[in-house]
Amino acid sequence: MTGSVLAIVPARGGSKGVPGKNVRPLAGRPLVEYTARAAADSGVIDRIILSTDSPEIAEVGRRAGLEVPFLRPAALSADDTPMLPVLQHALEVLEQEGWTPEIVVLLQPTSPLRTGAHIRAAVTMLRETRADSVVTVVEVPRHLSPDYVMRIEGGKLVPFLPEGARVARRQDARAAYAREGTVYACWRSTIERFGSIYGEDCRPLPIDPGESLSIDSPADWDAAGRLLAGR
């Protein structure tokens, strides 16, 4: 099948920052369930695949509505495993089954504030622009813009960028953006051609800072719980 959209949810079992986070209840639901619901609500995903090495996470994922057609090999489940080979492995397994998507959407479960609208906007932008990829970004506070921040050189405080010497007020600094992990969308051909999910033409999808949160620590977990409890 071609012309279809595949969402891949990577959730290995060896989390250290927040042990067991992928199956741990957050505001009453397992963490992976938030991603499963957002993907289903988007209306643009044909298949939602969970890539995990953990039978426990796999079972929780199935109950949340995710497909688990394989368990990820241990060699792709280490702390330092890059995301690209995880995606390539999932694509290879599905291709062996005779299913080849046109678009790949990476949805990390550590972004539980993600909504179906975020996913739909990213896929729509990818199709309309024909760019290599689309990623969600958030504007960095102006006082953290590269135009405004400083570095220490030889004991002296100097502008981080040479042109920063001309910026006296933070509101005059240029807007800067950070990739924040809510949605990554690309063509399957981008991965195959560039060995990357970004390619050469990566388009930004800005989202509200209040909708951007990646869980990497217990403090992030607590913050996410408070936000989700209020929804």
Under the banding of pLDDT at 50, 70 and 90, the label for residue 48 is: very high
For residue 216, give Cα distances in angstroms to 7, 14, 121, 154, 190: 22, 13, 25, 34, 28
Mean pLDDT of 170-194: 96
pLDDT in tens, 112-132: 999 999 999 999 999 999 999
**Position of tokens 């989390």?**
15
**The predicted structure's pLDDT at residue 198:** 98
Mean pLDDT of 155-180: 94
> Of 20, 155, 26, 38, nearest to 105 (Cα)?
38
Asked whether residue 1 carries a pLDDT value surpassing 50, the answer given is no
**The predicted structure's pLDDT at residue 2:** 47
* CB < 8 Å & 24+ apart, contacts of 155-160: none
Mean pLDDT of 192-215: 96
How far apart CA 14 and CA 22 sit, in angstroms, is: 10
Average pLDDT for the chain: 94
The reply to whether the predicted model has a pTM over 0.85 is: yes
DSSP letter for 113, please. Answer: T
**The predicted structure's pLDDT at residue 13:** 86
To the nearest 10°, report the CA torsion of 38, 97, 77, 179: -40
Mean pLDDT of 29-35: 95
Under the banding of pLDDT at 50, 70 and 90, the label for residue 83 is: very high
In which element (H, E) is residue 40 found? helix 31-42
Structural domains of the chain sorted by starting position, each given as residue range(s) with its CATH number in brackets: 5-136+182-229 (3.90.550.10), 141-175 (no CATH)
Q: Higher pLDDT residue, 191 or 3?
A: 191
